Each structure stands twice: as C-alpha cells, then as structure tokens.
Amino acid sequence: MIALFITSFLIACSQQQIDPISENDQTGGYVAAARQIIDSNATLKSVATFPVGIATGSRLVAQNRKAADLVAAQFTSKTVYAYMSIEPTQDTFNFGESDYWVKYAQSHSVRLHGHCLVYHTGAPAWITQFKGTTNEFEQAIKNHIQTIVGRYKGKMKSWDVINEITYYNSGAIAQTPFRKMYADDKSYMEFVKRCFQWAHEADPDALLFYNDALYETSPSKVEAIINMAADFKRSGTPIHGLGTQMHVDINTPDVGIRNSLLRLASTGLLIHISELDICVNPNKDAITTISAKMNDAQQNKYKVVASLYKQLVPGRLQYGITLWDLSDADSWLVVQKNRVDAPCIFDANYNKKPAFYGLLEGLMK
C-alpha cells in the first residue's frame, strides 16, 4: 500500500484541488450519452458479481453525510486501515479506526479486509529503528500481528499480512528497515513466512494476502512474486491471495494490466485488485481543470481494468476490486503527494464522474 491513513477530509478547501467538472461543461455530452446506455440509478454493488470495496478513513464517513451515503450505497467490502502505527509505542495499541469499522459492519452488509499488518512505511520509530536483537524484533512483530488479528478474529475476513517487500520496478528484495535486520534475503524471507504463520495462528479462518504495487509495469516483479507464492506453498506457509494495488494512470498500457492479471491468477491464489485509482495527470503538468479528453481516457481505463479482471481471473479467484479513496478531495495523490490530479470515480463534491460509469460498465461486461 502506497498510501498512508488519511486523517482529514478537509482537503476540499486545498489550493491544490481541481475544481469539479460540472455536467454543463464539455464533459456533459459524454455523461448524458453514458446514461443512455447505463441506468444512472445502478450502483456498483448492484451490477458486480464479486465484492466491490472502498478504502477510506472513518473520520470522512463519520463527518460527511454524502460520503457516508456513497459508501453504504455503492460498496460491499471495506479495507480497514491497520498500519503499524496502530502500535505507536511498544505494547500500546490504538484500535479506534479498526473498532469503528467492526461496529459499522454490524449494521451494514460489508466484508472487512485489514490493511496491513507489516509495512515499513509509516511504521513508528520504535519498530523501524529497533534497538534489540533480531530475535527480540521478531517477538515484537509476532506480538503486534497476533494482538491485532486476535482482537478481530472472526470479524476481519482477510488481511494484507505484509506489504511491498520488493523494489517498485523489479522483483528484487528492497532494503527496508526490516530487511536490514537480517544478514541476507533468505533469512529475511523466512521471517516473512513466519509473519503469515503468526497471523494464521491468531485466526485460522482469516484469508491472508501478500500485497504489492506496479505489477502491470514490471514483469520481473510479477515473476518474482509468483516464485515467492510457489515457495510459500511448498513450505506450507499459509497464503491465500495476492493483492495487486493497481495504482495506474490513463497512459498505463492495457497489455501490462492484462499480462499481470493472467500471470498472478496462474498461482491459483485469490486475486484482489486492492488499491485501484487512475490518475489523469501522470506527467504532473501545471493544470487547473480536467479536460474532456482526460475524463474520457480515465473512464475507458476504469472500464478496461474491471472488464479484464472479470475476463481473465477465474470466478473462484476473484476476491474483488477495491478503490483507493472515495473522491478526488481525499485522494492520497492530492492529500499526501500534493499532486494536481483527479484519480477517483467521484469528484471533489462526491458526485459521479465519467469514471464511475466506466467502472460500472466494466463490471457489467
């Protein structure tokens, strides 16, 4: 997971925000045409044959009625932020975010997916700068995993156990603070396997995923993760699925998306498009509005991603498609990266964009 937990949705007032495109401007004709084909009252969850999820923070839903209504109306799966910052100091946990969604699920028909148990980015300093021995480090990580998974046993359907252990552009093991606790890649990968085992011990019924990014642009990464999954299976390591984040842009080649989905599905593991968004300004140009051409390209790319997933991943392996952030106002690219972009299917005012209808159509194919 590239993005970290978003604590505020007030970015709608940010100077970096792109003004929402109204249906009265140059995109209006496209939206009108789309609605002639697709029932404008159809929801994502009403047409999907697998769970459609959203990753957003509890504060947004608790404080913004329109956002809350969208989450309830459109989605059947919720990715719950459970980064390592949930344990800000050793043996002290803050379960507020996760507890919110567990309570939410009691009154909403929604599947909960935890993200993510072990991830160096955003982890507190006591973990990333661990002062003890490797054995003590492992005991701390084991306690972290089992405390969280055990608390939500039978409530979280699945977990991303570990996130992004490779370099973005290759399958080589990244030199993260956790990797540096070990003498070599082999001993580090044994630790990674133990993370899965510890999670399984805490909740034997939970589905366990490995999550990573940029498969669609790095065939070598795809092959490395396929080999890792095969090694996990041979060693009896409990792994049930692979998350492909799918942070793509309007210029990402369709063939890369196609090939990565085919190869990942060849593992026989569940495949989760886990963090989908599609940026319209990949070159980071100094723009103030989104053109009709950008909107059309984004609409088509959302349709392509959904339709390829349906066509290429066998139904029994379709764990679902999850969108990363609800609207352009709270997108991680805008909030965290300070980018001028609009990667989501809802605009900054939580209105449907052409991208919404592209995703809807792709789910129907």
Catalytic residue among 87, 97, 275, 361: 275
Q: Is-catalytic flag, 136? A: no
Q: What's the whole-number average pLDDT of the chain?
A: 91
Q: Is residue 50 included in any domain, yes or no?
A: yes
Q: Is residue 234 included in any domain, yes or no?
A: yes
Q: Is residue 324 included in any domain, yes or no?
A: yes
Q: How far apart are CA 35 and CA 352, in angstroms?
A: 11
Confidence at residue 41, expressed as pLDDT on a 0 to 100 scale = 85
Confidence at residue 365, expressed as pLDDT on a 0 to 100 scale = 83
Catalytic residue among 87, 97, 164, 216: 164
CATH of the domain at 99: 3.20.20.80
Q: Is-catalytic flag, 275? A: yes
How many domains does the chain contain in total? 1
Q: Is residue 5 included in any domain, yes or no?
A: no
Whether pTM exceeds 0.75: yes
Q: Which of 84-89's residues contact partners 24+ apart within 8 Å by CB, and which partners?
A: 84/117, 84/118, 84/119, 84/120, 84/122, 84/123, 84/124, 84/127, 84/144, 85/5, 85/122, 85/123, 85/124, 86/148, 87/124, 87/127, 87/144, 87/147, 88/124, 89/124, 89/126
Q: Is residue 2 included in any domain, yes or no?
A: no
Q: How far apart are CA 331 and CA 316, in angstroms?
A: 31
Token duo for residue 61: 């839903």
Confidence at residue 177, expressed as pLDDT on a 0 to 100 scale = 97
Confidence at residue 38, expressed as pLDDT on a 0 to 100 scale = 57
Weakly modelled stretches of the chain, pLDDT under 70: 1-40
Q: Is residue 3 included in any domain, yes or no?
A: no
Q: Is residue 4 included in any domain, yes or no?
A: no
Residue 189, domain extent = 10-339+348-364
